Amino acid sequence: MPAAVRRDRHIDTAAAESPSPLDVARKGFDHLVTGTEPLSLDCRGLEGLPDRCVALDELLDRLLHGPCPQEVKDYVWCVLVERSRTVGATWALACAGMALPALANVAKRLAARHSAEPYDVHAEVLLGFLTALITVDLSQPHIVVRLKWAAYRRGLAALTAALDAPVPVEISRFAAAPSEPPAGHPDLVLARAVRAGVLTRTEADLIGRTRLEGESVSDWAGEHHLTLASVYKARRRAEQRLVALMRDEDRTAKVRDAAARGSATRRSRSAPSRPDRRALRSSLSVLLMTGCPKASAEPVSSGAGAPP
């Protein structure tokens, strides 16, 4: 297997006896591409690829680091996904293996920024990817990018649900459990805005990728077949609504926190005070309201370009 593929291992295994789902997928992929007859794809006639059958581990290395045009990458992924749908589990595992660098980065990011069990995060990310193999539109470009974001959304949704769950407290303690999760993280702010109907999934994807992930607006616009001016205008309007939502939440949180502190003081002098969870929201507000170029075109429609 090419060294470049082996170097791109970002999966942290907490315990050797309990490998994560992505570790299991990696081992399965390694098995598929070793031996005298590794799982391969016929790449004859494809620009930037050898004129022969190419083992999938070598193909992954060439797609990541070679001079392949985007059209060729999309064609390869179209074939891979179609085989996962028609042939079955072997090619679904092959797809997961081909996407492991992206899936590992998604899982690492989610696990690092949230208090969650890494095993569960990896499981949700992998499940989101495998589920998207069934539904992803193969007629649209950037197939693997859309699969990656489906995996990310699944992982983020699971984390959001976990944070929304009630926090257990000891019966002997008088202080009430916190009435809200640590929801100031930008990812959770976007997820909550979508759930509240303030943003569409497309708008949240736009803000997340161009503001938080560092993707250029031009790349996002090209992927969704939209003009640069319309995307800038859509992002500016969406961010204005998002900032308004965060300000409303801050006002509500202040009232709720004051009431909770007063109640806790009356019940027990030793009750712990709640931490301030508004710092990250304020930082995101500053980020969103700066550096938004003006444009005159129409905004992105609420359904356009939404990943599956």
Domain that holds residue 226: 183-267+275-288
Domain check: are 53 and 156 in the same one? yes
Domain check: are 61 and 189 in the same one? no
Domain check: are 133 and 206 in the same one? no
Domain check: are 36 and 70 in the same one? yes
Domain check: are 36 and 142 in the same one? yes
Q: Which amino acid is at 5?
A: V
Q: How far apart are CA 207 and CA 187, in angstroms?
A: 10
Domain check: are 117 and 79 in the same one? yes
- Alpha-carbon separation of residue 243 from 6, 89, 233 (angstroms): 42, 44, 16
Q: 264-279 burial by CB neighbour count: b if 16+ within 10 A, else e? A: beeeeeebeebeebbe
Q: How far apart are CA 300 and CA 238, in angstroms?
A: 10
Domain check: are 151 and 208 in the same one? no
> Model-level pTM greater than 0.75?
no
Other C-beta atoms closer than 10 Å to the C-beta of 66 total 15
Domain check: are 203 and 118 in the same one? no
The reply to whether 176 falls in a domain is: no
The reply to whether 178 falls in a domain is: no
pLDDT in single tens digits along all 308 residues of the chain: 444 444 344 444 444 457 889 999 999 999 999 989 999 999 999 999 999 999 999 999 999 998 899 999 999 999 999 999 999 889 999 999 999 999 999 998 888 766 667 788 889 999 999 999 999 999 999 999 999 999 999 888 887 777 665 555 444 444 444 444 444 556 677 878 888 888 888 888 888 888 877 788 888 888 888 888 888 889 989 888 888 888 887 777 666 666 666 665 555 554 444 434 344 444 444 444 443 443 333 343 333 333 33
Domain check: are 25 and 134 in the same one? yes
Q: Which long-range contacts (CB under 8 A, 24 or more apart) does 140-145 make?
A: 141/70, 141/71, 141/74, 141/223, 142/70, 142/74, 142/223, 143/74, 143/77, 143/78, 143/81, 144/73, 144/77, 144/98, 144/99, 144/102, 145/223
- How wide is the angle at C-alpha 142 spanned by C-alphas 111 and 234, nearest 5°? 80
Domain check: are 223 and 112 in the same one? no
Domain check: are 92 and 142 in the same one? yes
Q: How far apart are CA 185 and CA 277, in angstroms?
A: 9
The reply to whether 205 falls in a domain is: yes
The reply to whether 247 falls in a domain is: yes
Q: How far apart are CA 302 and CA 207, in angstroms?
A: 14
DSSP sequence for 60-81: HHHHHHS---HHHHHHHHHHHH
The reply to whether 38 falls in a domain is: yes
The reply to whether 224 falls in a domain is: yes
Residues 6+ apart with CB under 8 A from 14: 118, 119
- Structural domain count of the chain: 2
Domain check: are 47 and 97 in the same one? yes
